[in-house]
Structure 1
Amino acid sequence: MKAFIKDCIKANKKIYEYINTHISNLDYIYSGQIGFGGDKSLNIDLFAENIFIEYLKPYGDIFSEESGYISSNSSYKIIIDPIDGSDNFSSNLPYFGTSIALQKDNKTIIAVVCNLATGILIYKDENKKIKKLNLATNKYIDFLELQDSNIGIFERAYTNPKLCEKLYENNIKYRSLGAIALSLCDARNYSFVLFYGKIREFDIAAGVYICEDLNIYQSDKFLIVAKKIHIFNLIKDIIN
């Protein structure tokens, strides 16, 4: 599957270079289309999706947040979020990216997540190896793992003020960054990652595969990821 990863890198590099050299006001505008996931699609969402389709369609069926299923009658499924954190992008908040998960028999075997604001791409291959690439320099960099962190990530915190209050009562520090795939990708560097709301496959498939060696709990409304078991149990007790 080296060819698939190479084409994922090429597609992300093309999107990254476009955003940094050719971006225009038109890219920030609502396209008039409601994506398969239920959100309004910006022009940049559709632009990125078209690039991924161009590079990745030969490898399998595509399931995209924007257009839904694009079938090629393959045993492989490619789950993509063309722009993870579109609201951040449209507000010039530098925390947005892309996510790709390649599945066979409904099991993720390769995941690629790219932070388009920094140009840092992380992928985990079928052999469970994680690598980190700087798109600007085309050089691989060390995948460092922080041993201790003072903060967690609570995505969509604004939708659950009662839970925010419980975290405050337990003196738990967190941030709400607005791009769940990016947050999951770096979960091992945070105290925890907590997601509340409707859990969609294209939001979490790639990120969960990258952090699958951590403690993970998922229900119909919550996703918790934490490296340390006592933090994991604490957050789980708070939400239940």
Structure 2
Amino acid sequence: MDYELLCNKVISIVRLTANFIRKESLQFDAAKIEYKGLNDMVSYVDKTAEEKLVRNLEKLIPDAGFLTEEKTINKTGKTYTWIIDPLDGTTNFIHGIPAYAISIALYEDDKAVLGVVYEINRGEMFYAWKNSPAFLNKKEINVSINPDLKSSLLATGFPYYQFDKQPQYLQLLAEMMQKTHGLRRIGSAATDLIYVACGRFDAFFEYNLQPWDFAAGCFIVQRAGGEVLDFSGGTDFFNKREILATNGKLTAGVLTSIRKYFG
């Protein structure tokens, strides 16, 4: 498999779908919002974008399976699986806040081999493939080299439907506010992760995520020289659905605080 060639084809598919999302953002009708669960919104834009992505990705690897947020396809692959979020940051999109992205990862035998995240409003295409560096619009990127938690900028997300761990999470946020330059909550985990990959954020942490939220972004962080762990410091973040992504130099410091509240 020529993963570089495949990645370029995926990028072209993503750009086409992004054009549709960008066009719809100018005329979006909030009355067409649907609810999948508490605070879990979806629109025709998410569903149509996913259908467009699936239709074109199927042509690249006909026997590949799909794991998608909107479940517009039910297909299992023996070797390859596409993991797709057609619009990560739907709440931002619905409210006209310019921070949302398309996220696509390809897994081969349960290991990521390709990741593409396109932040639509800034026109920033982040991508990597097996054994490659990470790139932003054809320029190689790396995580930050900041070793000092006191001068770091961190990103996180807030729980929006399972609130059982909210008290300890708020305690963790309070501690990190005092130990860093600050915390940011953009509202798109895929965007948070690619910002770690290019050094804008020094670390990102969030729990109760879905694979389509983080599969591509985590892979790009790793290819940019960063580290991705679960909250116990292990590497089973995919199944535990809890993510700590760092530049590698701040891992111990952030993990110490996380373990205090999520031990």
TM-score (normalizing by structure 1): 0.83
Q: 1:157 to 1:191 in 2, by over 3 A?
A: farther
- Matching of residue 218 in structure 1 with residue 233 in structure 2: no
Between Structure 1 and Structure 2, the one with more strand by share is: 1
- Matching of residue 233 in structure 1 with residue 252 in structure 2: yes
Report 1:93-108 matches (<5 A).
Answer: 93-108=97-112
Structure 1: which 5+ runs fail to align?
134-139
Contact 2:128 2:134 in 1 (8 A): yes
Counterpart in 2 of 1:151?
Answer: 153
Cα distance in 1 between the residues matched to 2:145 and 2:90: 31
For the residue of structure 1 that corresponds to 2:54, the secondary structure is helix
Contact 1:28 1:43 in 2 (8 A): no
Contact 1:81 1:98 in 2 (8 A): yes
Cα distance in 1 between the residues matched to 2:76 and 2:186: 35
- Matching of residue 48 in structure 1 with residue 54 in structure 2: no
- Matching of residue 6 in structure 1 with residue 2 in structure 2: no
For the residue of structure 1 that corresponds to 2:125, the secondary structure is strand
Contact 2:228 2:244 in 1 (8 A): yes
Counterpart in 1 of 2:81?
Answer: 77
Which one of 199, 203, 207 corresponds to residue 209 of structure 2? 199
Q: 1:221 to 1:62 in 2, by over 3 A?
A: closer
Residues 47-95 of structure 1: CA deviation (Å, up to 9, x unaligned)? 2101111111232111101117621644210000110111111111111
Contact 1:112 1:124 in 2 (8 A): yes
Q: 1:126 to 1:33 in 2, by over 3 A?
A: same
Give the aligned residue type for 1:19. I
Cα distance in 1 between the residues matched to 2:70 and 2:85: 8
Residues 83-125 of structure 1: CA deviation (Å, up to 9, x unaligned)? 0111111111111001111011011001111101111111101
Report 1:49-198 matches (<5 A).
Answer: 49-58=50-59, 59=61, 60-67=64-71, 70-71=74-75, 73-133=77-137, 140-141=138-139, 143=141, 146-148=144-146, 150-156=152-158, 159=166, 160-188=169-197, 189=199, 190-195=201-206, 197-198=207-208
For the residue of structure 1 that corresponds to 2:14, the secondary structure is helix
Cα distance in 1 between the residues matched to 2:15 and 2:153: 30
Cα distance in 2 between the residues matched to 1:67 and 1:103: 18
Contact 2:22 2:120 in 1 (8 A): no
Residues 157-182 of structure 1: CA deviation (Å, up to 9, x unaligned)? 78532222122343551111111111
For the residue of structure 1 that corresponds to 2:251, the secondary structure is helix
Residues 12-37 of structure 1: CA deviation (Å, up to 9, x unaligned)? 211222234454544645454639xx
Structure 2: which 5+ runs fail to align?
161-165, 232-239
Identify which range, 46-55 or 21-30, moves more after superposition.
21-30
Cα distance in 2 between the residues matched to 1:168 and 1:73: 43
Cα distance in 2 between the residues matched to 1:8 and 1:99: 11
Give the aligned residue type for 1:227. N
Cα distance in 1 between the residues matched to 2:110 and 2:186: 29
Q: 1:224 to 1:57 in 2, by over 3 A?
A: same
Cα distance in 2 between the residues matched to 1:174 and 1:16: 28
Q: 1:222 to 1:76 in 2, by over 3 A?
A: closer
Counterpart in 1 of 2:235?
Answer: none
